Structures are given as structure tokens and as C-alpha cells.
Structure 1
Amino acid sequence: MRALRDHVDAWQRGELDLDRCDQDVVRSRAAFARLVGVPATDVAVGSQTSVLVGLVAAALPDGAEVLVPHGDFTSVVYPFLAHADRGITVRHVPVEELAPSVGPRTACVAFSLVQSRDGRLADTDAIRQAAARVGALTLADLTQSAGWLPVDAAGLDITVTSAYKWLTAPRGVAFLTARAAVRERLRPLHAGWYAGHDIWQSAYGPHMRLADDARRLDVSPAWPAWAGAVPALETFAATDVEAVRRHDVALADGLLAGLDLPPRGSAIVSLPDDEAGTTRCALQAAGCRVAGRGGGVRLAFHVWNDEDDVDRALSALRPRVRAVAH
């Protein structure tokens, strides 16, 4: 937040340095690359997940089938549904059935590695192997995983990530990773000066020379968001993410244990709620920041949470959730 304020203050004083702004993006790209285990040359920057997923949807041939988890976040799904006029079909199956549901017509398996609604984890290895057998692309959304769950983007064809969730960057910072062979299939639909081989020499036409690596897919950045992203991303890139996972999951599973529910091994806990949001309101009254999602209430534990937060949630939940869950 301090870095973002400093950026805005410099902007207000008329002292903004564009080279410094560009370095914020360079450093953010490099930090994210380290975090997900790919070279920075495989990372493109953007603003929102759906914009980046749209590049993949546009690259699929007419009549292609896309396999997605039932109830996945719409930024993963809508960009494909928007191509229905080209015969693109989207097949929805439970996230646990993605791998066995891959068939000869499947051109792409698109999924959130961790489901936003309830924290379920996709079996990435099984999905990757099933997709490879039929030559289908794998596209994973890491928005609900990068930052608390160790991820290996190098093992997937394409990943997309909005960094304002677990990576705690300002909204408007997003990344795409793509292996070199796959990158050639993606048309740079949003190409502008920032996707140029030399960004400072790419401001005017008529000729176009795009970057040779994933930067050719870049979307021109909104500078303030990236100023705030640098310290957040560099912190997580230097952190033992496995230790973060153990901490977050221990709190989430501790909450479930306090409700006599089995552990789920995720940092996200989803519990039933009624249409009036009674459980969500009780949690908020107890001082918990939670979200009403998908007909339930969702709690997400991260590095700033501790056992006191679990106890606070349990004090509000015990009288309500046990009766519903059992």
C-alpha cells in the first residue's frame, strides 16, 4: 500500500518516471515467474483473467470442444461460451471427473486449480496426462492457488492468474504463462505499444514488430496497480509457499474439526447457508470478513490469520452449522 501511495503522490506532483513505471512491470513479471516456476520470457502481463482466457478461446478452431468444471468461475468459462457462434461447445463436469471425461473431441481443458466456490483442488497431473493423450490444451486458472499453494506452471500449457487474491496485489494485475510451442497458437489480439519488441520505439505505425517472447501478448499496464504489485509479488516469490500452505490449511482444517467436519486440505472452507445469509451475517457480527458465494458462505485463511480467527469463527458457527451440516 505504501508503494502505491508513493506512486500516486509522485503522479500528483508531476514527477512520475515512466522508466520506473516500466521497471515495476519488469520486476513483477520476474517475481511471478519465480513463484510459478517458469522463465520470465514465458510470462505475459494483463489486467484481468477473462481477457487472457479470451486469447485462448479465440485460438481454438471452429467446432472445438472445451471441457470445464461444473460451476467454475465465469472468467474461465464465459470467454469460451462467447464463441458459440463458431460451434465451440463447452462441456461441464464435476471437477473430480475432468481427467476421465477428456475425449477425442476435447481441444482444451480449462479449469481453476482451486475452485473459488468451495476450495476443491483439481488433479492437475491426471488432467495433464489425459489431455496429452488426445492433444488437448491445458489451461489452468491459478487465481485461487498462487500464493498459498505451490504450483508448477511449467507443467501446463497455459495458466492465467489475477494477482489481487492470494498474492495481495492491487486489482488490475494479471499474468498469463504459455510454453513457447503453445504461444505460437495465440494471436496477440490486444497488441499495442507495450507488446512491441522495443516498447519505447513502438508508439507509432505503420510497421509492427512484436516481442519474440510472451511479451507479444502483453496488455498495456495501468501503472499504479503495478507499483503496488512489486512488493507483494516479490515477498511471495521469496517465501516458502509450502510453509504458507501448511499454515493456511491447518487453520482451515482446524475450523472444520471444531465443527466435527472432516478435513479438506484446502485454505478455503465453504459452509452451507440459507437464502437470508444467516450464517454469513453471524460471522460478520463476530468480526469475521467472509463472502457469500454459490449458496453458501466461504472463509479463506491466509498468512495474516491465526488461531484467534478460528476461535472467533467457531463462536459464531457452532450453533448454526452443525445442525445444517448433519
Structure 2
Amino acid sequence: MAPTTFDEARTSFPEGSGYLAACTLGLPTIGTVDALTADLSAWQETRTDAASYGRVVEDVRRSYADLVGVSVRDVAIGSQTSAMVAMIAASVPDGAEVLCVEGDFSSLVAPFLMQAHRGVRVRHAPLAELADHVDASTWLVAYSAVQSATGAVADATAIRAAARAHGALTLNDLTQAAGWLPVDAAADDITVCHAYKWLCAPRGVAFLTVREAVLDRLRPSQAGWYSGEDVWSSCYGPSLHLADSARRFDVSPAWQAWVGAAPAIALFAELDASAVYTHDTGLAAALRAGIGDRRSLLTGTPSAIVTWLDPDGEDLRAMQSAGITASGRAGRARVAFHLWNTDDDAAAVLDALETRPARML
């Protein structure tokens, strides 16, 4: 199959003018809506079965493996990143240390905090200094490739190098990255990703990747019938023969969500990620340039997310009044640019903010 071109990908979405919230919830592809509609009809007409849903899940698993650059054997499936991280947290040795980013998303931090009863220690450091804070006491470095609250992009190369130098594992949350930022999941020991944001899948489709060398360092504490080598032989006790791949960390899929995910994940797997990156970050850069003389914004690695201080929410309300769908997080206004957005969206934000007084970051 020929790779999907950028223009073809854009026509896979409905009209999304004014929708600047992919960092909160992606828009469904036309294929996703069609697939879900067809599946509901098939369900109503008694034309569905569990085995066919299982084949859909495996198709999506392969597409995701292609998207993030790993073997399909390295991909586990689930429904929520926090549940996947909880399994990883339960695998941290008693008394070990986990290094996290100050202000990172709670789903990547809270599960480790909940292991304090075993002596697990959680230390936090600023994103820009995270690599410098890795030391001999660090068992795991947990970080998001892109920060949810600020849109800041992590220096993953430096973080991984520091972790390797000290014998620590890395856990990278790709939820705010995969879909617009080219990612290489094989470069981290473990990654997690929920696909309902930039990958435009229904909520309830999440992925875990684990390097083969790390498999036995994690305990599949959520093991169930879908964690077996042959799922149809794992439905009943008294024993369970775990898969010898990352599938041992699978949890039973929410079927309809995966039906909707199939067209979306396949689309992004076939698309040139660099083209999406150039488009999304270009629009974000145009917005930053347009308001840079009025607000001091984060600089550094280009990001598809633009944020600025908006503690009273007045900028967010101004955008909403102008028909722009944006979001507010941690006292900031936040907008995100993706495939369906154009220069007109950046201009619309500037117009909406024109009546608001300048505020320095």
C-alpha cells in the first residue's frame, strides 16, 4: 500500500475549523465514524462475534507498532495509561527511587506515589534539568515526551543517555506526542500512550511498549484471559500460560473502541510523520510570532501546543466566545494545532485575543 500523503490525510477528517484542542480530544476520522456506525448496525443485527473483534485488535496492534517503530511483539494493549503505569509502579522494587518531572500529568506520577508504603521514593525535577538529576539511586525515569500543561518537548536523547549511564530504566508517556511528533518507542525501555488525543482514536484505546530485555523486570499484575499465549485457552483457571511477548501485559479490550481505532491508527502509521510535524509546529510558530510582542511564551524545541498564563481564564473565554475550541490547564490557556487546522485558525486566535490586555509569562 502506498503511504498516505499529507493532503489525503487531511481529507480523512471532517471540517475542523476553530477546533484547537487535539491535546484534549482528537477529532474522529471519517473512517472511524463509518466503522463504528457499521459495527453498531452489525451488533444490532447479530452479525458480530468476539473472534472478529480480536482480529481487529491485532490489526491495530500492528499499525501502532509500525507507527512508533517497534516489533509487534513489544506492544501490549489496554484502556488507560494510568492503569498501565500502575502495573509498572507495582513492579518497582521495594525502597527504589523513581524520578519524575515537576508538574507532569498525574497519570504518570500518582501510581508511583501510591507505592510509598513499600518505601518507593518519588523525586521530581524540572523538565529541562531532568537528565542532570539522574543518579545511581534512580531505578526508573518517568517522563512525558511532551508536557500536557505547557507543551514543552522533552530532550529525550539526553534523558535516555543519562538513564543508561546510571543503569536506570526509562518510561516515556507518548500520549501528547504520538500523532504529531515523530517518535521512536524502541529508544525507551517502556512507553505508554493513550490514543484519543493526537491519534484521533476513541477513548479506551491505549498502548504499552516494553523492550524484550525488560519484560521480566515487570510483573503483569493485571494479567487476565487476554494475557495468555492463546487467549481462547486462557478463559478459565486454574492456571494461566502467559504470553512470552509484551502481550502478557494485555488487558481485555473494549471492542467497539478498537473498531473505531483501526482506521485512525492505520492512517497515522501510513502517514509521513515529518509532514504532520512541519504542518502542526508551523501553525503553532505562527501564533507564537503573532502574540510574542504581547505575551512571553515558552521557547525551545518546536511544539504543536501553545500555552500562556491565563490565571483568570479570560483569554480562554475570549477564544470560546469567538467560536474557538481551546482548553485551560494549570492556570494557562492552551491551544493545539493538528491536521485539520489552517492559517485561518491561528489568525482567529489572534483576533480573539486582540481585545485582551498583554500579560507576561
Task: Please give the TM-score of this superposition, normalised by the length of structure 2.
Answer: 0.88
The 2-side partners of 1:272 and 1:12 are apart by 49
Residue deviations 1:99-122 (CA, integer Å, cap 9, x gap): 000011111100000000011011
Quick one: distance in 2 between partners of 1:240 and 1:153? 16
CA distance in 2, matches of 1:253, 1:102: 32
- Runs of 4+ in structure 1 off by over 6 angstroms are none
State the distance in 2 between where 1:125 and 1:272 align.
29
Counterpart in the other structure of 1:253? 285
- Partner letter of residue 273 of structure 1? D
Match of residue 305 from structure 1: 341
C-alpha distance in structure 2 between counterparts of 1:319 and 1:183, whole Å: 55
Find the residue that maps to 1:176 and give its secondary structure. strand
Aligned to 1:285: 321
Establish whether residue 320 from structure 1 lines up as the match of residue 352 from structure 2: no
2:149 to 117, 121, 129: 117
Q: Which residue number in structure 2 is paired with residue 101 of structure 1?
A: 133
Q: CA deviation at 1:59?
A: 0.9
The answer as to 2:174 corresponding to 1:142 is yes
Q: Does 1:155 align with 2:187?
A: yes
CA contact (8 A) 1:259 1:318 kept: no
Tell me if the contact between 1:145 and 1:166 (Cα under 8 Å) persists in the aligned partners: yes
Shift of 1:2: 1.4
Partner of residue 269 from structure 1, selected from 306, 311, 316: 306
Of 41, 47, 67, which residue of structure 2 is paired with 1:15? 47
Partner of 1:180: 212
1:90 aligns with 122
- Residues 47-74 of structure 1 show CA distances to partners (whole Å, capped at 9, x for unaligned) of 0001111121111111111111100000
Q: Distance in 1 between matches of 2:321 and 2:61?
A: 39
Q: C-alpha separation between the residues in 1 aligned to 2:93 and 2:311?
A: 43
Instruction: Structure 2: state its 5+ residue gaps.
Output: 1-32
Matched residue SS, 2:356: helix
Q: State the Cα distance separating 1:257 from its structure 2 match.
A: 0.6
Deviation (angstroms), 1:12: 2.1
Partner of 2:113: 81
Structure 1 spans left out of the alignment, 5+ residues = none
**Residues 254-280 of structure 1: per-residue CA shift (max 9 Å, x gap):** 0011112566510000011132x1110
Q: Residue deviations 1:223-270, cap 9 Å, x none?
A: 000000000000000000111000000000100111125665100000
SS of match in other structure, 2:193: strand
Letter in 1 for 2:355: P
Distance in 2, Cα, partners of 1:313 & 1:67: 37
The one-letter amino acid of 2:337's match is: F
Structure 2 CA distance, aligned partners of 1:111 and 1:197?
31
Q: Percent identity among equivalent residues?
A: 54
